[in-house]
């Protein structure tokens, strides 16, 4: 029997036997339906489900009449969401982690040995659909055959490295055996998603069927009425590639280079997974499973893992913002409008149409609308070619996207998002016109990045329905949306807007209506300090290298070129106007802006940029037309301190002012909005790691050193909450 003593048990855990339904639809066939009553949305491999699955398999093993076994979920498109993240989060002992892995491996091995591939007497079939992540994929790999519902929602993946661990319930050992080492490494090291037809071509699944036929086809396969060839046999490829130590070494070497290029050595999980996966096809399965256990031990309690697991939990918690404070649901929005067909507005409208909303995009400039239409068609066609969308879904996404130069049809819209020029009078005029046309309860949302939601709402009827919905550029890639709550914005408006953000695949964070909201306010001092260092003589390439080495996705100088020097300068001026001396903006960029050298979009800013054949911007080096610079020299650590502690200090002030609900929300926003190094857990988690006393000491040292100290009056003066934590030896996350 499985022993999960010491592993987190949900408070609402049901009685033994309640999580797995045992059905006998015909003689010789058993169907195990994973349907835990305490997980009404989707099953999770927690202690109660694992316990009941173990009990069910024990009974089947003792029943000599069973010839076929089907394991499935409560619905064709609902299987299991993988391991219980709460259980993983609470493990603080490497031996407990090893025990957890060993016990579940043993459970999956009992299933494997029941099956004919494990030389048992029963043909075992996983009948799955919808998302099949992590442990859900691993239990499928332990079965003889995998039948997958052919549906856009269906996919298999092993995302464990994203949580700082590795697929240790047999996934790292079994996947290379099944689909070959090269493709398996792609899946294990990157969390690659195998959608239905991709999974079939790769040999990961053995059969596709329509969701409504999943139960019948799985029964036919399990009873032998339909014979399937096991698609995991690789023949000569297995001998020449997977089990060849020379080929394995070459593949591992390339994979390691790729991992280090992406992670800079900050994430240990991919390298640990690589070491196990490369050897997996060449050694007995039991030895490879043992290697998974040994690899998990140092990872499970590693601070990187704890931070990544916390980020995942915070992103899941953010989805609850789509509910009212009492937990009740709000209606889902189905018809929307976007005003302004520039880069942001067009992308927002395109994403809304793709995700199922009927949307009208309005602009007075027909050429802008033409460009938006063409870009929408390109994006949808790309998704169709990559099989992310079926043809009928792609056609529907195109049909839902309408463009107009008038306000015709807006009377039926439930939300409008304006993305027009960043001028108060323009936004008021646009939303004021639409407020008269749209239904009384329709939401008036602004995508402003610098203007006050309350100021915009002042002249509008029904200020309770006015809200900020601040997307980040590029819209499709950036995962965060700031939901900016004005002083009169209603709970229902916030919840409906957050629900829309979640539907669009974004993570919402609710912020107070203050200048810069949260992300731009925290990012401002970081970027401004970078420009002061460049002006003082520090090489922009050295600054960018230091911050990339720290863990940022790109350096601050490249980021400014990406955003646009004009936009960065405008944001800096807005923050200075709101916060005064401590946010005084560096003027070094002004000559570049006046000369029209605005960054990537003009081919030159701090760096020179050219597009390659794929249309990607390539950095050709420092621009020869930069304004005069000084001769300051600083170490890499000094550069990091100046930029990152400027962020920490402003984040502490934002928390002090309750711009967001708490430190968890603030850290989530800085990771998803600024790209702050995920393995460090967020800006405030990083401050906790250093210790408040250390942060305060470093800030005080920075107050009187570096370039133009008089220009940063107050910037490095420790925030009151930081000083208080330093005196009490406290942390931001002490109570979270």
Active site residues: 470
**DSSP letter (8 states) at residue 329:** B
Q: Which of 556, 537, 536 is nearest to 546 (CA)?
A: 556
State residue 351 phi and psi, 5-degree precision: -65, -40
Q: Which of 515, 348, 331, 534 is nearest to 422 (CA)?
A: 515
CA distance readout (Å), 116 to 26, 64, 111, 216, 405: 20, 14, 10, 21, 65
The pair of structure tokens assigned to 322 is 């789509």
What span, in angstroms and rounded, lies between the C-alpha atoms of 243 and 105?
23
Q: In what order do the strands lie in the sheet with 194-195?
A: 131-133, 155-157, 194-195
The pair of structure tokens assigned to 299 is 């990872």
What is the enclosing helix (H) or strand (E) of 150?
Answer: none
What span, in angstroms and rounded, lies between the C-alpha atoms of 725 and 564?
37
Q: Kindly give, in sequence order, each residue whose CB lies less than 8 Å from that of residue 320, ignoring residues fewer than 6 positions away.
A: none
What span, in angstroms and rounded, lies between the C-alpha atoms of 105 and 118?
14
Residue with tokens 């970078």: 530
- What 3-state DSSP class applies to 551? coil
How many angstroms from the chain centroid is the CA of residue 369? Answer: 30
The number of C-alpha atoms within 13 Å of 499 and in the hemisphere containing its C-beta is 19
- What 3-state DSSP class applies to 511? strand
Q: Kindly give, in sequence order, each residue whose CB lies less than 8 Å from that of residue 67, ignoring residues fewer than 6 positions away.
A: 28, 29, 121, 122, 123, 223, 224
The pair of structure tokens assigned to 703 is 């107050």
What span, in angstroms and rounded, lies between the C-alpha atoms of 303 and 51?
29
What span, in angstroms and rounded, lies between the C-alpha atoms of 158 and 171?
7
- Alpha helix stretches (DSSP H) within 504-608: 519-536, 540-550, 556-563, 565-579, 590-594
State residue 375 phi and psi, 5-degree precision: -65, -40
The pair of structure tokens assigned to 325 is 């404070």
Q: Following DSSP, what letter does each residue of 387-430 receive, concatenated?
A: TSS-HHHHHHHHHTEEEESS-TTGGG-SEEEE---S-HHHHHHH
Please list the residues that pair with 97 across neighbouring strands: none
Structural contact between residues 279 and 288, judged by C-beta atoms closer than 8 angstroms = yes
What span, in angstroms and rounded, lies between the C-alpha atoms of 442 and 431?
11
Burial class (CB in 10 A: 0-12, 13-18, 19+), 706: buried
**DSSP letter (8 states) at residue 256:** H
Structural contact between residues 361 and 368, judged by C-beta atoms closer than 8 angstroms = no
């Amino acid at each position: 029997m499985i022993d999960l003593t010491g592993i987190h048990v949900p408070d609402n855990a049901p009685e033994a036997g309640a999580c797995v339904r045992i059905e006998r639809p015909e003689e010789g066939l058993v169907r195990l339906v994973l349907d835990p009553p305490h997980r009404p949305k989707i099953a999770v491999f927690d202690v109660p489900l694992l316990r009941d699955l173990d009990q069910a398999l024990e009974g089947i093993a003792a029943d000599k009449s069973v010839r076929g076994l089907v394991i499935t979920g409560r619905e064709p498109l609902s299987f299991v969401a993988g391991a219980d993240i709460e259980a993983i989060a609470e493990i603080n002992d490497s031996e407990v982690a090893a025990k957890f892995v060993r016990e579940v491996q043993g459970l999956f091995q009992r299933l494997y040995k029941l099956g004919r591939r494990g030389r048992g007497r029963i043909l075992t079939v996983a009948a799955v659909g919808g998302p099949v992540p992590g442990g859900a994929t691993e239990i499928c790999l332990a079965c003889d055959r995998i039948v997958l519902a052919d549906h856009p929602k269906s996919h298999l993946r092993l995302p464990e490295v994203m949580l700082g661990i590795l697929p240790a319930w047999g996934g790292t050992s079994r996947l290379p055996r099944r689909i070959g080492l090269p493709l398996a490494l792609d899946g294990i090291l990157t969390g690659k998603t195998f959608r239905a037809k991709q999974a079939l071509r790769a040999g990961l699944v053995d059969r596709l069927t329509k969701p409504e036929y999943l139960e019948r086809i799985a029964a036919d396969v399990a009873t032998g009425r339909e014979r399937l060839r096991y698609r995991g046999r690789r023949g000569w490829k297995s001998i020449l590639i997977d089990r060849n130590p020379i080929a394995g070494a070459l593949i591992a070497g390339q994979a390691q280079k790729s991992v280090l290029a992406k992670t800079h050595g900050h994430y240990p999980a991919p390298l640990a997974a690589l070491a196990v996966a490369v050897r997996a096809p060449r050694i007995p399965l039991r030895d490879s499973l043992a290697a998974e256990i040994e690899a998990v031990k140092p990872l499970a309690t590693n601070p990187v893992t704890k931070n990544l697991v916390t980020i995942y939990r915070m992103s899941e918690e953010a989805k609850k913002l789509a509910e009212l404070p009492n937990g009740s649901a709000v209606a889902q929005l189905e018809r929307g409008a976007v005003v302004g067909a520039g880069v942001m507005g067009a992308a927002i409208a395109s994403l809304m149409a793709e995700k199922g909303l009927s949307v009208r995009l309005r602009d007075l400039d027909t050429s802008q609308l033409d460009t938006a239409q063409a870009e929408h068609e390109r994006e949808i066609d790309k998704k169709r070619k990559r099989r992310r969308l079926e043809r009928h879904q792609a056609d529907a996404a195109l049909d839902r996207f309408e463009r107009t130069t008038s306000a015709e049809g807006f009377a039926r819209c439930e939300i409008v998002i304006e993305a027009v020029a960043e001028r108060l009078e323009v936004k008021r005029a646009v939303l004021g016109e639409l407020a008269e046309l749209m239904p009384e309860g329709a939401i008036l949302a602004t995508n402003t990045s610098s203007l006050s939601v309350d100021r915009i709402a002042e002249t509008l009827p029904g200020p309770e329905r006015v809200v900020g919905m601040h997307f980040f550029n590029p819209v499709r890639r950036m995962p965060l949306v700031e939901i900016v709550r004005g002083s009169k914005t209603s709970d229902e408006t916030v919840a409906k807007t957050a629900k829309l953000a979640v539907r669009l695949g974004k993570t919402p964070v609710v912020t107070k209506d203050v200048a810069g909201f949260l992300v731009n306010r925290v990012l401002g001092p970081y970027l401004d300090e970078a420009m002061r260092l460049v002006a003082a003589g520090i090489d922009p390439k050295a600054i960018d290298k230091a911050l990339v080495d720290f863990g940022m996705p790109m350096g601050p100088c490249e980021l400014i070129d990406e955003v646009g020097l004009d936009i960065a300068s405008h944001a800096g001026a807005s923050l200075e106007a709101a916060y005064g001396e401590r946010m005084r903006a560096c003027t070094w960029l002004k000559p570049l802006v006046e000369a029209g050298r605005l960054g990537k979009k003009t081919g030159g800013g701090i760096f020179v940029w050219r597009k390659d054949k794929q249309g990607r911007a390539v950095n050709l080096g420092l621009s020869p037309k930069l304004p005069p610079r000084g001769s300051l020299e600083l170490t890499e650590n000094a550069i990091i301190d100046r930029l990152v502690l400027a962020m920490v200090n402003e984040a502490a002030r934002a928390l002090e002012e309750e711009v967001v609900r708490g430190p968890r929300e603030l850290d989530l926003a800085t990771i998803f909005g600024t790209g702050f190094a995920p393995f460090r857990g967020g800006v405030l988690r990083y401050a906790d790691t250093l210790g408040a006393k250390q942060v305060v000491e470093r800030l005080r040292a920075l107050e009187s050193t570096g370039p133009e100290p008089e220009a940063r009056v107050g910037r490095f003066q420790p925030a009151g909450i930081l000083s208080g934590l330093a005196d009490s030896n406290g942390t931001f996350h002490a109570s979270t």
